[in-house]
Structure 1
């Protein structure tokens, strides 16, 4: 394999259209594993998929040695520009403990001035998932640099005393609607802000320069292309949590010809919308559908996350003050009333947008499904319409609601990597969910059996954007890095074909992509070459698969020299 990849590597650095042959491969075409063993590409276009095809004359030949060719992966739910900003600033996602996190922050504080921003810290590394301002203050005794660090989930922020003072947050500061200010026994803020409370500090952050945001997109494309990803759905395009609107960033890249991903943008539905029709009219001014960039769906965040007890539940969380510090029973946060959702969904669909919901708790999932049911009933079923509405995350789903995804034609946008016993699940989810609701988590298998349409994504930078890690968990419901070895709900595992389909054609369908996620003769090449054929591996070894070659929309964007993988 090394000769062909080595010849292609310099071309990949320039993102050129080129010709080559992959032979000795296995091929998954986006629907099924085929009998083909050869793929030919000429000037960026797929010219052959079959067995024993002649190589393209004069072009490099990549000997796949049984590796699997797939369509390029499409990440159905990611935040790439935000992830790129974090990767190029203070990236804490690689820290494996509280001590490592604090040491990384200490080094960053000593190396600069002004606001320190970044993210990626893990709630499971701190008692109750709540790091404190005191911990940050101890790293900078003079406390002259305000600090704002978003957690890996992007639903919480960790700030120091200087940042709290700048934002005027004290004992008497009320939490904004839908937000939580973590406090000590005396009512003083401790330094962790959840959901809309993050905005109290993020409003004071300096806006990043265009050059910084452009560099972030470039870095995001590089990292995801190295993993075989050729398209993504940016799950929040608008101002949120201290991040600037990414739409101008994408438009600049498209105009410059540097947008190598096929990007679908989810336009942000603010939490303070009072007039849905007016909000939709404003969003409609940003609606377009171009070859590499489109704004075809609207994102509504219906609730928060289980770890901070802000995911919306039908019954109160278990009272586990020793785990979360929350003494009073709560059912979480519902950002929108059922009446608002019904009105908003109707207005969004009339404007020609698809609807993209964040729903973690069983109450939020049901609210979304109820609103979709009302929308369907009021439109008379609308059988001929091409709506691609979807609910992302679907962590806790009442079993009675699972069949409704297929019945209503609502897709499930899965973040499969979360469906195992990692530290956050064991330490922060199970104790507050209790036994019954813990068994309701991530019902992927039941959704598949009921005939629901499935897509898959990473929610990067919340978790790794490597599709093979998510597929491993989807198939096994375990991961080698997990805190416990047994599977989480083994009956909810997906078969490998279904998981691959979800991460390619399934996600491409939701994003209305033109090329990404599809592999067909006569189309611009959009493909990834894996280091092995996962169908030939033991299921427990799927996580070992790595990406070697990526072609996006006809442009060669990644080749690992000598078969080595890079990220």
Structure 2
């Protein structure tokens, strides 16, 4: 595990780069000091390496050990690309470098001082001037929903706003009036409705029925666990007072029948009736999504749960050049599939075999949805102790496990035996414990930890379960932008879990101190996609989401160096890419980013606003801020509100959402 192999995550007080004094930089602009500036061409090398000093290998399976910079320089000819004049964060907690050289096949051939790397400068070498910014490994987003993110950019958004019923009605009516077409079968789907932000009522169809329209309306909750429909939408879906709630979901009812509030799986009975995007729209959405990922510095992703066959779609996008990123596809496994384990595994194994030699797309992860979310009004996350009512008194609600302990242990043992990594959505402390129990049982049955099993989200974790991540070599994959005091962690949660559980929310610091492997991700489009705010919030527990100006239990924060490791080397380890990417070292592939600022030379609050000037994958420049397309990303703040911003990216950057995506009738997390 990274936590075992690297002291930076094992001991947060020792060897942290954020505490180390950076080496002096010579900012003179003489020809003898700085590489010549040539126009940048696409092609050449990429980042992906380990440490400069000591050749640190990240992850237990780091089979390709980087050479030293001197050895690489001695055996190399000339570089295709040299990046200089920046602070090179390699992943080593004690050493910064000054320059990186990349060859024509996208491999890093030198990391060190400008004088060392300059020896590889040739007549055709292309130079990237980092202009004093950070040069570092690209972000590995180890849990997102890429297709859903792209598709979601097409729908009107409520921007997760906190609204009264009247204000919400005004916004939805304005959308209806603008679109004009009032055919009774013409669905209006609106995204980014804040289920916890309706200030003066509980969602009910009567408020949507009062709008001037005959159209079916479906508001998709920004937590992806709540949906809100009007009567016309309920009628089309055939929901009546006699319709039973589905497994893993709730059709909320009152004396008059369904209220229009739909929880978890129930929302897709209605939302799934809306027509899908056309093939042309889906293609355009995918192109925009992958350009967006490159623009914010993401070089590898895991699409976190869909049918394994979705890998075919990703393969087509990579083979046609639309998607440059390395892509891992998690195959969703639900209760019905667990019951039919033989058939399920046969299908999954066939897809895994199909993609075993694909250069960009891999299928080796099984995703199991263990519970829901903890916030009011859903409260579907599985908790060890009951939720409280508004007066602080225990209720009879503890949420529920969507997969029982016995069923999860059974399928985990089967999957582990056949070499599958298991990735569980676990929000509540009961779900986290059930996941750890299942992993432990599987490892005992099959001869030890070997498949890098992962628990994602980990919003709540019993203190006695915190050490079990390290003990059982289980990865904690966390979305740290949520570890901030805002509506989802305060008004919609704190009264209902009580102060003791609330203090244990997102216990990253506690888990990391045990030596456990941790990794980072966004859960986009459930949340705003800004990996630099994720990096920042893991440190200060404020980020851009803080509504109080304060921090959410700052004792659970980690150092900047360790947060960067979490989002690069840590996630690369989870994605089985630590032998080729995740750090900057000789012999690794150059998946890297060049930022507009020195992350270690600015206040932590300014990390959130970092702009990516260049993104490289396998030595190819896939994002260049100086180009017309790259200009979209110069000012992230403007995309959230400015009318001049490209609409497709307005939605992506304005959304401030929450857990687990559910799209197209498939629950994700």
TM-score, normalized by the shorter chain, greater than 0.5: yes
The residue that corresponds to 1:242 in the other structure is none
1:198 paired with 2:267, answer yes
Aligned pairs for 1:112-511 within 5 A: 112=181, 114-127=186-199, 130-139=202-211, 141-143=212-214, 145-184=215-254, 186=255, 188-238=257-307, 246-273=310-337, 274-287=339-352, 288-289=355-356, 290-307=358-375, 308-320=378-390, 329-380=396-447, 382=448, 386-511=450-575
170-179 or 55-64, larger mean C-alpha shift:
55-64
Aligned pairs for 1:62-141 within 5 A: 62-93=128-159, 97=163, 102=169, 105-110=172-177, 111=179, 112=181, 114-127=186-199, 130-139=202-211, 141=212
Residues 327, 455 of structure 1: alpha-carbon distance in 2 compared, 3 angstrom cutoff: closer
| Displacement of 1:257 | 3.3
1:22 paired with 2:83, answer yes
Residues 126, 246 of structure 1: alpha-carbon distance in 2 compared, 3 angstrom cutoff: farther
Residues 328, 446 of structure 1: alpha-carbon distance in 2 compared, 3 angstrom cutoff: closer
Give the whole-Å Cα distance in 2 for the aligned partners of 1:168 and 1:540. Answer: 50
Residues 102, 252 of structure 1: alpha-carbon distance in 2 compared, 3 angstrom cutoff: farther
Residues 201, 555 of structure 1: alpha-carbon distance in 2 compared, 3 angstrom cutoff: same
Note the residue ranges of structure 1 that are not aligned, 5 or more in a row.
Answer: 240-244
1:212-257 CA-to-partner distances (Å, cap 9, x unmatched) read 3322221111111111001100001229xxxxx7433213213323
Residues 489, 95 of structure 1: alpha-carbon distance in 2 compared, 3 angstrom cutoff: closer
The residue that corresponds to 2:620 in the other structure is 555
Give the whole-Å Cα distance in 2 for the aligned partners of 1:5 and 1:234. Answer: 38
Residues 270, 109 of structure 1: alpha-carbon distance in 2 compared, 3 angstrom cutoff: farther
Answer yes or no: is the 8 Å Cα contact 2:225–2:372 preserved in 1: yes
| Displacement of 1:478 | 1.0
Answer yes or no: is the 8 Å Cα contact 2:535–2:560 preserved in 1: yes
Give the whole-Å Cα distance in 2 for the aligned partners of 1:367 and 1:529. Answer: 41
Give the whole-Å Cα distance in 1 for the aligned partners of 2:281 and 2:201. Answer: 30
Answer yes or no: is the 8 Å Cα contact 2:485–2:545 preserved in 1: no
Give the whole-Å Cα distance in 2 for the aligned partners of 1:190 and 1:6. Answer: 64
The residue that corresponds to 2:653 in the other structure is none
The residue that corresponds to 1:46 in the other structure is 108
Note the residue ranges of structure 2 that are not aligned, 5 or more in a row.
Answer: 1-28, 30-34, 47-78, 635-648, 650-669
1:391-437 CA-to-partner distances (Å, cap 9, x unmatched) read 00000111110000000110000111101101221111112111111
Answer yes or no: is the 8 Å Cα contact 1:268–1:299 preserved in 2: yes
493-502 or 40-49, larger mean C-alpha shift:
40-49
Answer yes or no: is the 8 Å Cα contact 2:615–2:622 preserved in 1: yes
Give the whole-Å Cα distance in 1 for the aligned partners of 2:612 and 2:368. Answer: 33
Give the whole-Å Cα distance in 1 for the aligned partners of 2:425 and 2:443. Answer: 20
| Displacement of 1:463 | 1.2
Residues 96, 328 of structure 1: alpha-carbon distance in 2 compared, 3 angstrom cutoff: closer
TM-score normalised over the length of structure 1: 0.89
62-71 or 508-517, larger mean C-alpha shift:
508-517
The residue that corresponds to 1:34 in the other structure is 95
Answer yes or no: is the 8 Å Cα contact 1:405–1:411 preserved in 2: yes
| Displacement of 1:203 | 4.0
506-515 or 95-104, larger mean C-alpha shift:
95-104
Give the whole-Å Cα distance in 1 for the aligned partners of 2:304 and 2:167. Answer: 30
| Displacement of 1:103 | 5.1
TM-score normalised over the length of structure 2: 0.76
Answer yes or no: is the 8 Å Cα contact 1:226–1:550 preserved in 2: yes
Give the whole-Å Cα distance in 2 for the aligned partners of 1:67 and 1:38. Answer: 12
Answer yes or no: is the 8 Å Cα contact 2:315–2:360 preserved in 1: no
Give the whole-Å Cα distance in 2 for the aligned partners of 1:135 and 1:246. Answer: 37
256-265 or 402-411, larger mean C-alpha shift:
256-265
The residue that corresponds to 2:599 in the other structure is 534
1:179-221 CA-to-partner distances (Å, cap 9, x unmatched) read 122344x353222211111232144233433333322221111
Give the whole-Å Cα distance in 2 for the aligned partners of 1:164 and 1:537. Answer: 52
| Displacement of 1:135 | 3.3
| Alignment RMSD | 2.9
| Displacement of 1:340 | 0.2
| Displacement of 1:444 | 0.6
1:279-303 CA-to-partner distances (Å, cap 9, x unmatched) read 2222222213322001110100100
